[in-house]
A and B are shown apart, each in its own frame.
Chain A
């Protein structure tokens, strides 16, 4: 198996993860930000930032789909990339995401006993930090 190609594809995957994290942080972050900002001139500026985040997310997703399609013709390369360390790290990342979601749910539940929190904000924040926890932890584990 070609050594440099595996490392190249592994680096591409890491870059995809990195840009997806940035894209998600910006894109979905603006939805949360607009819930807290009520100034009339801010939403226009935020929509441009949102567009940038969306663009980053779309480009990185296209690159990832392209990489997956390229790998389809080479099973050995696919197996090498999705090796047991990768699968192990993926499970760990999803576990972290799961605990973040459970922790946030618990936090919002306790807060709701004292104050009224809009359901849409709770849903957005839980989704945002849950996905972010998975992405960031996967990046950290893959850095080894």
Chain B
């Protein structure tokens, strides 16, 4: 069976923008816990939230969230 690895670049993008998880959460309209669980790969966000985050970082969704087929 084919497996896929889902990773993200949120931490990198945050570092580039120099903002904390709490600040990002406030900009997107969620709690810090949500950002934390997405960043650490424990929670997969909805399409809407993924688009909101990508828009905030001014990059494509595929650049922020990477799905690698194995």
Partners in one complex: yes
Q: Contact between A79 and B43 (Cβ–Cβ < 8 Å)?
A: no
The number of chain A residues touching the other chain, given as a range, is 10 to 19
8 Å CB interface, B34-69 against A: 34, 36-37, 42-43, 45-46, 49
B32 within 8 A of A: yes
Give how many A-B residue pairs fall within 8 Å (CB-CB): 50
Please tell me which one of the listed residues B29, B42, B43 contacts residue A80 in the complex, with CB atoms under 8 A apart. Answer: B29
Evaluate contact between A79 and B33: CB separation under 8 angstroms.
Answer: no
Distance in angstroms between the alpha carbons of A83 and B22 in the assembled complex: 14
- Chain A residues, Cβ within 8 Å of B32: 6-7, 10
Contacts of B31 in A (CB 8 A): 6-7, 10, 80-81, 83, 85-86
A68 within 8 A of B: no
A105: interface (CB < 8 Å): no
Secondary structure at chain B's binding surface: helix, strand, loop or mixed? helix
26 of the cross-chain contacts (CB-CB < 8 Å) are A1-B26, A1-B27, A1-B29, A2-B26, A3-B23, A4-B22, A6-B25, A6-B26, A7-B31, A7-B32, A10-B31, A10-B32, A79-B29, A80-B30, A83-B29, A83-B34, A84-B30, A84-B46, A85-B37, A85-B43, A86-B31, A86-B34, A142-B33, A144-B33, A144-B37, A144-B42
Residues of B whose CB lies within 8 Å of any CB of A are 22-23, 25-27, 29-34, 36-37, 42-43, 45-46, 49
